[in-house]
């Protein structure tokens, strides 16, 4: 009973770290099933009809995730990165223009203070470098602190994502990305991650941001989700909203308030 009582009295951050240090028991089953599935795929690919279906699927996938033939002739194909959101009232992150005077790249830095209650709070820092009109390199650092039974605890989560901005209209920016997440402290484990997000520029100076990142670390789920309302003032913004963190067995629902700058 002593170990059980010790775990039950632990805070959310301690439970998360303990869980991330304990691998899931379903690993071997998933590996075996993936091997069986790969064998089935290899057999079906030898069939000419199946090969045609695979080619059609690949072509459709390219159109869904990268660009369709119709979009190549549209304005979104050449949409350029704005120097900062709402530089003019009619556009947000992207601008339709034939001018060569546009930003080759842009840095967006944002920082938010998150708090669930008086005992659990932290800081979420995010850096996003946009380049080649469609691409982005996003790096995040989440640091959480918790007071439990008179003791202090912390949790560090790093993330790095390469994003592709799939929809680039003057009012809507939608992206998805792949990357890696790393948990520090006494866990020191990393895992492959994926993410997606969107920002809707409703009307100057207001925009709505939604984003989600997910990873499997030591066969445990680690997620970061944001829902923020942003107020833009030139190349600066302030934000407020909701942030959710799923750290293995622990779930944190936090109020968020922050600021940012684009240059």
pLDDT at 74: 87
pLDDT digits (tens, 9 = 90+) for 207-253: 999 999 999 999 999 999 999 999 999 999 999 999 999 999 999 99
State the average pLDDT over residues 143-149.
95
Residues 6 or more apart from 97 whose CB is under 8 A from it?
Answer: 80
Residue 5: pLDDT band with limits 50, 70, 90: very low
Query: b or e along 76-114 (b: 16 or more beta carbons within 10 Å of the residue's beta carbon)?
Result: beebbbbebbbbeeebbbbbeeeeeebbeebebebebeb
Q: Which residue has the higher pLDDT, 29 or 1?
A: 29
Would you state the structure tokens that stand for residue 262, as one six-digit string?
A: 């684009």
pLDDT at 104: 82
Q: Are 191 and 27 in contact (CB under 8 A)?
A: no
State the average pLDDT over residues 136-141.
98
Q: What is the CATH number of domain 76-262?
A: 2.40.160
pLDDT at 37: 52
Q: Token pair 């632990």 is at which residue?
A: 10
State the average pLDDT over residues 83-112.
88
pLDDT digits (tens, 9 = 90+) for 178-212: 999 999 999 999 999 999 999 999 999 999 999 99
pLDDT digits (tens, 9 = 90+) for 26-63: 544 544 554 555 554 444 446 777 778 787 777 678 77
> Exposed, middle or buried: residue 72 (CB in 10 Å: 0-12, 13-18, 19+)?
exposed
Would you state the structure tokens that stand for residue 173, as one six-digit string?
A: 């920016």
pLDDT at 49: 76
- Bridge partner residues of 172 (DSSP): 200
How large a percentage of the chain has pLDDT more than 90? Answer: 70
pLDDT at 6: 45
Would you state the structure tokens that stand for residue 87, as one six-digit string?
A: 């530089």
How large a percentage of the chain has pLDDT more than 70? Answer: 85
Average pLDDT over the chain reads 88
* Prediction pTM value: 0.84
Total residue length of the chain: 263
């Amino acid at each position: 009973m002593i170990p059980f009582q010790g775990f039950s009295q632990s805070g959310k951050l301690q439970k998360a770290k303990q869980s991330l240090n304990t691998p899931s028991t379903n690993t071997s089953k998933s590996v075996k099933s993936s091997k069986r599935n790969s064998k089935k795929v290899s057999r079906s690919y030898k069939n000419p009809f199946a090969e045609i279906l695979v080619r059609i699927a690949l072509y459709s996938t390219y159109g869904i995730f990268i660009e369709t033939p119709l979009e190549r002739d549209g304005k979104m194909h050449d949409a350029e990165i704005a120097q900062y959101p709402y530089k003019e009232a009619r556009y947000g992150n992207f601008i339709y223009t034939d001018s060569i005077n546009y930003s080759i790249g842009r840095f967006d830095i944002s920082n938010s203070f998150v708090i669930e209650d008086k005992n659990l709070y932290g800081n979420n820092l995010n850096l996003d470098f946009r380049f080649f009109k469609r691409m982005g390199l996003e790096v995040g650092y989440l640091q959480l602190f918790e007071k439990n039974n008179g003791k202090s605890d912390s949790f560090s989560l790093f993330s790095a994502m390469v994003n592709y901005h799939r929809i680039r209209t003057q009012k809507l920016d939608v992206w998805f990305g792949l990357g890696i997440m790393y948990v520090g402290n006494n866990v020191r484990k990393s895992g492959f991650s994926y993410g997606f997000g969107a920002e809707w520029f409703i009307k100057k100076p207001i925009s709505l941001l939604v984003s989600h990142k997910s990873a499997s670390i030591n066969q445990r789920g680690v997620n970061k989700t944001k829902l923020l309302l942003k107020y833009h003032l030139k190349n600066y913004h302030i934000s407020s909203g909701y942030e959710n963190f799923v750290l293995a067995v622990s779930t944190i629902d936090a109020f968020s308030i922050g600021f940012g700058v684009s240059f």
